[in-house]
Structure 1
């Protein structure tokens, strides 16, 4: 007769037999032990593998249980692994390199009653110093400004990190905070390969382009001379900081093409970038703004591929006048045979030279 399921469970969980108590009555033995049904060893040779959450028999390797609870202590940290010290920190949030101090203080909530409110205010006065409040206010301003023009969070963190470096070194003592924030955002965008022009930062922060340029030069010199200032290594790699030149026209084409909502924005971005790079060799366009060159390249690419946009539509996105775009395009039109590649034209591509307007 084959053993039933209850018999198998009884073999796995030892015990369960009745035992006689001191008063002579028989009571059920509720003490159960986990036994391996294959080895039947008593006491069992069980191994708790907390990494996988399994209970395994050490003799035959049979898995007897899963999803076991790790009951060991939580004294583990990665703070002093390099020094080999034991730092039993088991509570508190992760360290924030953008703030000063350990940030492991206890915060008292704003509860009900006069005593609770007084305790909350007293705790804030002792813990939140003026420097931390100023940093938090600047971080909120950077976040609000960056989100207004869809700057990624990694670039926002880089701008905050640069601002903290300037505060720690007292680089802009007495300078308006708005100008420092504008310079930090500008240089963070350049380092993250998503550059913004001085005009865009000016329209965002209302800080003059001249002031943004001065702040940018001081910041760039500071970051170049203090490559070891980035102790945390979390956001902007200051030790690998590279000086950047003027924002080129090809770097601006990607954002402008996305905002113009072309049918195939990736193709338009590729063609307009190539046109902008080739246009830099034209003598007539020497000294012109990268914004006007990028806008004229997009204007030519849109008409060439049959997904045309007017100069007024492109001017609204690029921030230049439509007359400036047409002037730059008139300098590009005589050299259209040199600028346009053969692969873009039919039959390989969808481009046609006869679609290009004269002006």
Structure 2
């Protein structure tokens, strides 16, 4: 699995360490082997802030569903007290490069993502990121459609719209002033 993603040896080694700990605590019993191996890779990637989504991992697990992987991750994370960093900046670079965004807009998205972390938005980081990308591209000359962002971020359009609605009232707090002025942000309308 690690080879199919081109992961470096340090991530493979960390996944092995997590596996050994899980075996010591007998956490692997009753779960599909491929789901557990995907869990260890996912956790190791997150710890090193390298982004791999659960959907990406499920493509190399021989039919294991995202839901199964996610359940096992929660069990392992709680029992082993593993800290998983959110690789949001890595996702920003990946998503923005995949939809051919201009560098200035990418920098604005990165700054907005940093600014939004202090706000209490209770949505997944991927859906918040997708909503931010949509908002900022609509304010720039580099407009991108919701369908393209949804496809690249692997987030449903409806989910992006809901995140957008949650973010919209506080847009002036996280969208950088150098990118657009406050009046333009107020003219921004929900999708």
Q: TM-score range by the shorter chain?
A: 0.7 to 0.9
Q: 2:96 aligns with which of 250, 257, 274?
A: 257
> 5 Å matches for 1:79-94?
none
Q: Does 1:337 align with 2:142?
A: no
Task: Name the counterpart of 1:315.
Answer: 150
Q: Does 1:353 align with 2:184?
A: yes
Q: More relative contact order in 1 or in 2 (CA 8 Å, sep 6+)?
A: 2
Q: Distance in 2 between matches of 1:257 and 1:217?
A: 29
Alpha-carbon displacement from aligned partner over 1:113-154 (angstroms, at most 9, x marks no partner): xxxxxxxxxxxxxxxxxxxxxxxxxxxx4423x24xxx4454
The Cα shift of 1:185 comes to: 0.9
Q: Distance in 1 between matches of 2:106 and 2:173?
A: 19
More strand, by proportion? 1
Change (3 A) 1:299 1:356: farther
The Cα shift of 1:251 comes to: 5.5
The Cα shift of 1:257 comes to: 1.5
Q: Is the 8 A contact 1:300 1:356 kept in 2?
A: no
Q: 1:212 aligns with which of 69, 72, 76?
A: 69
Q: Is the 8 A contact 1:304 1:355 kept in 2?
A: no
Show structure 2 runs of 5+ residues with no match.
Answer: none
Change (3 A) 1:354 1:169: closer
SS in 1 for 2:178: helix
- TM-score, structure 1 normalization: 0.43
Q: 2:125 aligns with which of 274, 290, 301?
A: 290
The Cα shift of 1:215 comes to: 2.9
Q: Distance in 2 between matches of 1:356 and 1:299?
A: 15
Q: Distance in 1 between matches of 2:166 and 2:79?
A: 40
Q: Distance in 2 between matches of 1:281 and 1:189?
A: 24
Q: Distance in 2 between matches of 1:335 and 1:167?
A: 42
Q: Distance in 1 between matches of 2:114 and 2:132?
A: 9
Q: Distance in 1 between matches of 2:25 and 2:178?
A: 55
Q: Distance in 2 between matches of 1:308 and 1:356?
A: 15
Q: Distance in 1 between matches of 2:78 and 2:122?
A: 25
- TM-score, structure 2 normalization: 0.73
Larger Rg: 1
- Report the count of equivalent residues: 188
Show structure 1 runs of 5+ residues with no match.
Answer: 1-140, 225-241
Q: Distance in 2 between matches of 1:168 and 1:323?
A: 40
Q: Does 1:300 align with 2:167?
A: no
Task: Name the counterpart of 1:327.
Answer: 162
RMSD: 3.6
